[in-house]
Amino acid sequence: MRAAVQRVKEASCKVDGQITGQIGSGLLVFLGVGQEDGQTDVDYLVDKVVHMRIFPDGQDKMNLDVRQAGGGVLLISQFTLYGDCRKGRRPDFSPAGKPETAKVLYEKTIASLREKEIEVQTGIFAAKMEIACVNDGPVTLLLDSKRQF
């Protein structure tokens, strides 16, 4: 699994003009599922997202995680994180997981984050979404459960 994680002051998702998810301060997480991914990958990424110390403490040092900072998570499915742009002009999305499998792992990620007592808002899997956010920092980190980067 891959994730692009952004620290935000606020973020929201709209589908067909209707807000499906919205948070104040917290993390906007774009999540992609690969062909070989499973529960171990969900566990790895959830642990990273929950425990990354990227929020400022009283001395403005990045020492707090999302829970300690009182933030939420807006989780958005994004298969394009598996787009391979190394050849040609059109990305190759064949490394992305099949929609049926990806949806199950996306839903397991939502459930696992909620088990950690974090407010989780979402988009709608496979929908055309409009994402708005106010980046904080900006702080953007890339995660890969296979540790490819």
Q: How do residues 82-119 score in pLDDT, each as one tens digit?
A: 999 999 999 999 999 999 999 999 999 999 999 999 99
Nearest-angstrom CA–CA distance, 25 and 135: 10
In the set 6, 55, 79, 109, the catalytic residue is 79
104 phi/psi in degrees, rounded to 5: -60, -45
Structural domains in the chain plus CATH codes? 2-144 (3.50.80.10)
Instruction: Write down the pLDDT at residue 103.
Output: 98
Question: What proportion of the chain, given as a percentage, has pLDDT over 70?
Answer: 100
The mean per-residue pLDDT over the stretch 32-61 comes to 98
Predicted confidence (pLDDT) per residue in 57-81, tens digit: 999 999 999 999 999 999 999 999 9
Active site residue 20: no
Q: Which of 35, 39, 80, 140 is catalytic?
A: 80
Sign of dihedral through CA atoms 96, 100, 102, 103? positive
Residue among 20, 30, 55, 78 flagged as catalytic: 78
Q: How confident is the model at residue 44 (pLDDT cuts 50, 70, 90)?
A: very high
Q: What is the mean pLDDT of the chain?
A: 97
Give the span between the Cα atoms of 79 and 77, in whole angstroms: 7
Indicate if 93 belongs to the active site.
no
* Confidence (pLDDT) at 149: 82
In the chain, pLDDT over 90 holds for what percent of residues? 99
CA 20 to chain centre: 15
80 among known catalytic residues: yes
